[in-house]
Amino acid sequence: MNYNETFSSIYNVLSTLDNEGQTAQYIPELAVIDPEKFGVSLFTNEGELFSFQDAEEKFSIQSIVKVLSLVLAYRQLGVQIWDRVGVEPSGTPFNSLVQLEYEKGIPRNPFINAGAIVVADILVGALKDPEVAFLDFLHEIIGDKSVNYSEAIAKSEKEHAFRNLALVNLMKSFGNIKNDVDRVMDFYFKICSICMTTEELVKVFSFLANEGVSPITEKGIVSQRQAKRVNALMQTCGFYDESGEFAFKVGLPGQSGVGGGILAVHPGKYTIAVWSPKLNAKGNSFLGSKFLEAFTTAIGSSIF
Amino acid sequence: MNYNETFSSIYNVLSTLDNEGQTAQYIPELAVIDPEKFGVSLFTNEGELFSFQDAEEKFSIQSIVKVLSLVLAYRQLGVQIWDRVGVEPSGTPFNSLVQLEYEKGIPRNPFINAGAIVVADILVGALKDPEVAFLDFLHEIIGDKSVNYSEAIAKSEKEHAFRNLALVNLMKSFGNIKNDVDRVMDFYFKICSICMTTEELVKVFSFLANEGVSPITEKGIVSQRQAKRVNALMQTCGFYDESGEFAFKVGLPGQSGVGGGILAVHPGKYTIAVWSPKLNAKGNSFLGSKFLEAFTTAIGSSIF
Amino acid sequence: MNYNETFSSIYNVLSTLDNEGQTAQYIPELAVIDPEKFGVSLFTNEGELFSFQDAEEKFSIQSIVKVLSLVLAYRQLGVQIWDRVGVEPSGTPFNSLVQLEYEKGIPRNPFINAGAIVVADILVGALKDPEVAFLDFLHEIIGDKSVNYSEAIAKSEKEHAFRNLALVNLMKSFGNIKNDVDRVMDFYFKICSICMTTEELVKVFSFLANEGVSPITEKGIVSQRQAKRVNALMQTCGFYDESGEFAFKVGLPGQSGVGGGILAVHPGKYTIAVWSPKLNAKGNSFLGSKFLEAFTTAIGSSIF
Amino acid sequence: MNYNETFSSIYNVLSTLDNEGQTAQYIPELAVIDPEKFGVSLFTNEGELFSFQDAEEKFSIQSIVKVLSLVLAYRQLGVQIWDRVGVEPSGTPFNSLVQLEYEKGIPRNPFINAGAIVVADILVGALKDPEVAFLDFLHEIIGDKSVNYSEAIAKSEKEHAFRNLALVNLMKSFGNIKNDVDRVMDFYFKICSICMTTEELVKVFSFLANEGVSPITEKGIVSQRQAKRVNALMQTCGFYDESGEFAFKVGLPGQSGVGGGILAVHPGKYTIAVWSPKLNAKGNSFLGSKFLEAFTTAIGSSIF
């Protein structure tokens, strides 16, 4: 099947709509992105790549990286990570402290900020040189060294991180952060600063559509069982308090970032990534969400 | 594929475990059920039925009926029902009032009690004789008239319904219940009292595995799009504050009842129902959850 | 000291302000009251009475009665009532269910609706004919039989009581309501319907300013210790989530009702009641609060 | 009146009880205090001082200082401080983040930690050399230079301050902290480390019992109106989620510290301070609370 025509015809329809929302404003690097950028890529388990428009332009993947850091921690340490972070939807915004206080510092899931910070703490404790090891892990999956951090974005994030500092200190007060708070946050901001194209994204995540095995290098990244569980987590938790809506309308496990990217997985079939910088009120790409809804409707393909 | 052997070998392994938990205690009809009862049935889209042990014994399906009442309301009234009930996981127990107060009487989703009561209110307003119409709807799907209410259970529920009366009155105070509170609750308790066997359950729900069309009668019950959305909702919300765990471990959309039943759907393939009366701390069948986890692991089949 | 001139000069200043807010709208009997009505009375422990404007006109005292029902329950049953209702400010609106769910059906204090309903339940259980006994109690304090229920208001309240029905059913589900829900609510609406003038109010409450002894009949109503504790409770809880503000600005223990009445006590000195039907956003008399603030400032008299 | 005998006889009765609770454990300086220490002092508006047992031994006053920092900010900046911190009881523990998130970074009152940190931020912004200016302020009230910081305690606090760092960062994210977070917290820990004897405490606070004027130096510290308002705030908020209980049982405005000190004010009459290091479950001095309850009961003197 050739998806290029589907991409193009959906894009043409959506172009006639108002592109509502606005780009993330909290750091300059995200606020200045051209809001009309739009890219989409799809990568099948057979190795076919389909791309449309700005699919070769790098953007800040932000929270999408939380899936990759979870995968690395899960692979390194196995089920013991679930002692420190849950697997339930939170029902609250991505940066809420309320549940964290009621539940004594154990985040609901690894995709809200608190959960991703715990995962960062786990990796800082488990890896020798976490920043290097994390990039090595990404390069292992895609088979080249094209992915890197953005020092400028990491620095900017750090300067506007009061809410995240509140989260990490609250968890530290409950004993659920083991390393130095500043060390953990440096690593966290570093991995959130990674820039990728939609083409790179679909390749990096392709092992999750393929039972844990990279279709590019044919190397096993995680077990089949682990891949399924990560996909299930994305389905129930990847869109924060809009996760139900995304499952309802798009019907694929996915993860969203404030840079305007969305990554989704059709287990057994393909990965798809879309990028459009304007965000809706919940902080997810406005046009990206609409595009994926139209796409799974058009090709009659969702996991449900 | 013949599932009988899989059922039997999983059951043999699980039998060696302690069957933890206890039967629902709040009404006599549920408390006195033999806790060692166990039944499982699977029904494929091709019409094959596999059953094990007590699969022909009727039990109280309780909250599993919430999916069927949602389907009927969705079919009758379409998307306008989403003005009155959300599609997001609640992150709280099935009978919590907290979110309902913060969110001004709009329940998070149709499977927590508050949401199911709103759906009951919608049906009471839309149907001429709701109790009769609801049974007719079930009979239409399975092609016979074998399903009925239990007057004794409905009466017992009503006498122990203070928490549900709190929910319905709170929603009424916000204007999200349109009919008389007592009328709505009578209908709600009536439909929750329905008794079915696991064989009946898998047949009644089979249209959700088959793009909205009953494989028995070949009649369309809902549109393909509606079927997918109901499945997505079961995935994110069907197990209340254990929905993430169920997606994570079992990997199928499903719905649980305090009678000890669990119904799950593999879209495109089959429906499966299991019954074991002892409940875990979250109110879901202890052995039933374990069985389904072992089953999807054994046959390597989940939607993720 | 003659307070008439102080009353008059404060009233003249306040008259030049906009009388913001609006009368309680949820039942017709309160909505139709002339919003410009204004009455104030002060009764000293020496038996002097000072009144201004509409001080001899009856109005619905609503929640102000909660103090009197608490006093009766406290006198009858002593400290055991504190097992079923707390003595802490709630920090939330008067009709909130949130804390009640977290704290398993034990209301924070006897002046929020939930707490007053528990007190009503206590009285229904302890008194032979609660409606008669309650009026007898009021008549005992003031030495005549001038106070009565308003059947019309009680009936109206009952028809618009969904939020209160949610509260009582939630507490019943936790076991903190011992009698039949309808019986308790009938009594609760009955006592909330009592109408008094500001002159009657200051006389009825005068024992709280006088160490538990009615200055009119010289009979002891409660012990000195109990009187002090009821006053302390009014100080910290009598204005719901505006209690801090009232203590801060007025500096007297007091209780407010949605009929626009406010009753305040200066222990050792006097009781004062003011009536002005327009309410602020928190449901307390707009002009009444301003008047009391100006009054305690003018005469340099508060408990702080 | 001579209070020495009252002190002695109450102490003798209480000595026969178990001294429940334990000393604050989170920093070594507090954990190692001899738990049997006990001191009490009372200072009348006429300048009489009564002391009992360890009344001349310095201890860490901790949160009691929050009243003094509030007074200084109130005096310097007047009512504008109420734009940044409320005057309502919180209904939650002293270090809760829940309400702070719901209410967008505005603390409920100046005596919970979040509120005291905002006051510290106000002082850091308003004073040239805050640490020096604050001590000068205390010395101005008592007329000598006996009070000082404890560097060791301030340092220890800082090392165990994750919960407070969560609070300050959360408020900074909402824009309610204007200065650098570390600068504000350094000042906050510094003032919380102040050590005083109960004799010093009753003298420092004596202006609050005396309409804003120090009975020692006869200098006005704050206006009569401000003194009343600070007392009202102590009454409704000084014991966090035990404020209602303290008002109910003791009947005086007061403030508690985890060092085991309690300061209370009888406006128009006296200040009283008690010190006993073992804390109850809410973090208030176990024996100190009992002592004050017995004292106001014995002399029949409370504001209610």
pLDDT tens, position by position, A160-199: 899 999 999 999 999 999 999 999 999 999 999 999 999 9
The pLDDT score that the predictor gives to residue C154 is 93
Token readout for C198 is 């500001």
Percent of chain C as helix, strand, coil, to the nearest 5: 50, 10, 40
Cα(A80)–Cα(C3) distance, rounded to whole angstroms? Answer: 74
Closest residue on chain B to C176 (Cα)? B162
The pLDDT score that the predictor gives to residue D240 is 84
Amino acid identity of residue D173, one-letter, is S
Residue A262: C-alpha distances to residues A112, B109, B273 (Å): 15, 24, 35
- D163 closest CB neighbour out of A102, A163, A173: A173
The active-site residue out of C85, C147, C258, C265 is C258
Give C167's contacts in chain B (Cβ within 8 Å): 166
B97 CB within 8 Å of a chain C CB: yes
* Residues 6 or more apart whose Cβ sits within 8 Å of residue C18: none
**Domain at A24-298: CATH code:** 3.40.710.10
Percent of chain D as helix, strand, coil, to the nearest 5: 50, 10, 40
* Residues 6 or more apart whose Cβ sits within 8 Å of residue B199: B41, B43, B49, B51, B55, B56, B273
The active-site residue out of D258, D265, D276, D278 is D258
Tell me the pairing of strands D270-275 and D39-44: antiparallel
Token readout for C3 is 């307070």
Closest residue on chain A to B208 (Cα)? A304
Is D66 among the residues known to form the active site? yes
Closest residue on chain C to D296 (Cα)? C225
Mean per-residue pLDDT for C154-163?
91
- For chain A positions 209-248, those within 8 Å of chain B (CB to CB) are 224-225, 227-229, 231-233, 235-237, 241-245, 247-248
pLDDT over 80 at A20, yes or no: no
A165 CB within 8 Å of a chain D CB: yes
The pLDDT score that the predictor gives to residue D115 is 97
pLDDT tens, per residue, chain B with 304 residues: 789 999 999 999 998 887 778 898 888 888 889 999 999 999 999 999 999 999 999 999 999 999 999 999 999 999 999 999 999 998 777 778 888 888 899 999 999 999 999 999 999 999 999 999 999 999 998 888 889 999 999 999 988 899 999 999 999 999 999 999 999 999 999 999 999 999 999 999 999 999 999 999 999 999 999 999 999 999 999 988 888 999 999 999 999 999 999 999 999 999 999 999 999 988 899 999 999 999 999 998 889 9
Tell me the pairing of strands B270-275 and C39-44: unpaired
D120-157 burial, b at 16+ Cβ within 10 Å, e below that, comes to bbbbbeebeebeeebbebbeebbeeeebebbeebbebb
Share the mean pLDDT of chain D: 93
Do C302 and D228 count as a contact with CB atoms less than 8 A apart? yes
Interface test with A, best of D170, D174, D178, D180 (most A CBs within 10 A): D170
Is C249 among the residues known to form the active site? no
Give D235's contacts in chain C (Cβ within 8 Å): 235-236, 247, 304
Domain B4-297 has CATH 3.30.465.10: no
Give B180's contacts in chain C (Cβ within 8 Å): none
Contact between D95 and D163 (Cβ < 8 Å):
yes
- B170 closest CB neighbour out of C166, C172, C181: C166
- Phi, psi (degrees; rounded to nearest 5) at B213: -110, 130
* Residues 6 or more apart whose Cβ sits within 8 Å of residue A103: none
Higher pLDDT, D182 or B26: D182
Cα(A215)–Cα(C49) distance, rounded to whole angstroms? Answer: 91
Interface test with C, best of D98, D235, D245, D255 (most C CBs within 10 A): D235
Higher pLDDT, A34 or C29: A34
Taking the CB of residue C131, how many other CB atoms lie within 10 A of it?
15
Contact between B153 and C152 (Cβ < 8 Å):
no
Closest residue on chain A to D177 (Cα)? A162
The pLDDT score that the predictor gives to residue A2 is 82
The pLDDT score that the predictor gives to residue B27 is 84
Residue B208, judged by CB atoms within 10 A of its CB (0-12, 13-18, 19+), counts as buried
The pLDDT score that the predictor gives to residue C170 is 95
Q: How many angstroms away from the CA of D98 is the closest CA of chain A?
A: 5
Share the mean pLDDT of chain A: 93
Residue B12, judged by CB atoms within 10 A of its CB (0-12, 13-18, 19+), counts as exposed
Token readout for A62 is 């932000």
Mean per-residue pLDDT for A196-207?
97
Taking the CB of residue A101, how many other CB atoms lie within 10 A of it?
22
Q: Which residues pair with B274 in a beta bridge?
A: B40, B262
Cα(B19)–Cα(B295) distance, rounded to whole angstroms? Answer: 17
Do D97 and A101 count as a contact with CB atoms less than 8 A apart? yes
The pLDDT score that the predictor gives to residue C218 is 92
Do D236 and C233 count as a contact with CB atoms less than 8 A apart? no
Q: How many angstroms away from the CA of B231 is the closest CA of chain A?
A: 6
pLDDT over 90 at C173, yes or no: yes
The active-site residue out of D3, D74, D188, D270 is D188
Taking the CB of residue A220, how many other CB atoms lie within 10 A of it?
15
Estimate to the nearest angstrom the gap between the alpha carbon of D155 and the chain centroid.
20
Mean per-residue pLDDT for D205-228?
95
The pLDDT score that the predictor gives to residue C44 is 97
Chains that touch B (3 or more CB pairs under 8 A): A, C
Q: Binning pLDDT at 50, 70 and 90, where does residue D148 land?
A: very high
Q: How many angstroms away from the CA of B12 is the closest CA of chain A?
A: 23
Mean per-residue pLDDT for C133-159?
91
Q: Binning pLDDT at 50, 70 and 90, where does residue A55 land?
A: very high
The three-class DSSP label of residue A262 is: strand
Q: Which residues pair with B49 in a beta bridge?
A: B43
Give B224's contacts in chain A (Cβ within 8 Å): 300
- C170 closest CB neighbour out of B97, B102, B173: B97
The three-class DSSP label of residue D195 is: strand
The pLDDT score that the predictor gives to residue B265 is 97
Q: What is the DSSP letter of A213?
A: B
* Residues 6 or more apart whose Cβ sits within 8 Å of residue D117: D107, D164, D167, D168, D171, D177, D184, D185, D188
CA atoms within 13 A on the CB side of A54: 18
CA atoms within 13 A on the CB side of A298: 16
Q: How many angstroms away from the CA of D243 is the closest CA of chain C?
A: 7
Is A258 among the residues known to form the active site? yes
Token readout for B224 is 């393909």
Q: What is the DSSP letter of A193?
A: T
Taking the CB of residue D18, how many other CB atoms lie within 10 A of it?
8
Closest residue on chain D to A166 (Cα)? D166
Residue D254, judged by CB atoms within 10 A of its CB (0-12, 13-18, 19+), counts as buried
Interface test with A, best of B223, B241, B248, B302 (most A CBs within 10 A): B248
Token readout for B117 is 């009561």
Q: Binning pLDDT at 50, 70 and 90, where does residue D66 land?
A: very high
| Closest C-alpha among C141, D170, B217 to residue A165 | D170
The three-class DSSP label of residue C265 is: strand
Give A244's contacts in chain B (Cβ within 8 Å): 86-89, 109, 232-233, 236-237
C98 CB within 8 Å of a chain D CB: no
Please write the tens of the pLDDT for every residue from D269-283.
Answer: 999 999 999 999 888
* pTM to 2 decimal places: 0.92
Q: Which residues pair with D82 in a beta bridge?
A: none
Q: What is the DSSP letter of A240?
A: G
- For chain B positions 252-271, those within 8 Å of chain A (CB to CB) are 253, 267
Closest residue on chain A to D181 (Cα)? A162
Tell me the pairing of strands B261-266 and B270-275: antiparallel
Cα(D87)–Cα(D101) distance, rounded to whole angstroms? Answer: 17
pLDDT over 90 at D159, yes or no: no
Token readout for B140 is 């239409």
Cα(B186)–Cα(D100) distance, rounded to whole angstroms? Answer: 42
Chains that touch A (3 or more CB pairs under 8 A): B, D
Tell me the pairing of strands C39-44 and C49-53: antiparallel
Q: How many angstroms away from the CA of C177 is the closest CA of chain B?
A: 11
Give D243's contacts in chain C (Cβ within 8 Å): 88-89, 236
CA quadruple A12, A13, A16, A21: dihedral sign: negative
Token readout for C18 is 């906009």
- B101 closest CB neighbour out of C98, C165, C181: C98
Mean per-residue pLDDT for D189-208?
96
- Phi, psi (degrees; rounded to nearest 5) at D287: -75, -35
CA quadruple B154, B159, B163, B165: dihedral sign: positive
Share the mean pLDDT of chain C: 93
What's the Rg (C-alpha) of chain A?
Answer: 18
Q: How many angstroms away from the CA of A168 is the closest CA of chain B?
A: 21
Cα(B291)–Cα(C43) distance, rounded to whole angstroms? Answer: 74
Mean per-residue pLDDT for A131-154?
92
Do A169 and D166 count as a contact with CB atoms less than 8 A apart? yes
Chains that touch D (3 or more CB pairs under 8 A): A, C
- B170 closest CB neighbour out of C102, C163, C181: C163
The pLDDT score that the predictor gives to residue A16 is 84
D167 CB within 8 Å of a chain A CB: yes
Q: How many angstroms away from the CA of D27 is the closest CA of chain A?
A: 13
Taking the CB of residue D303, how many other CB atoms lie within 10 A of it?
28
Token readout for A74 is 């899960």
Do D237 and C244 count as a contact with CB atoms less than 8 A apart? yes
Contact between A246 and A234 (Cβ < 8 Å):
no
Q: How many angstroms away from the CA of D172 is the closest CA of chain A?
A: 6
Give C225's contacts in chain D (Cβ within 8 Å): 297
Cα(D3)–Cα(D46) distance, rounded to whole angstroms? Answer: 14
Amino acid identity of residue D88, one-letter, is E
Is B240 among the residues known to form the active site? yes
Mean per-residue pLDDT for A49-53?
96
The pLDDT score that the predictor gives to residue D154 is 93
Do A97 and D96 count as a contact with CB atoms less than 8 A apart? no
CATH class of D4-298: alpha beta
Higher pLDDT, A228 or A20: A228
Query: Where do the structural domains in chain D lie, given as residue ranges?
Result: 4-298
Is A63 among the residues known to form the active site? yes
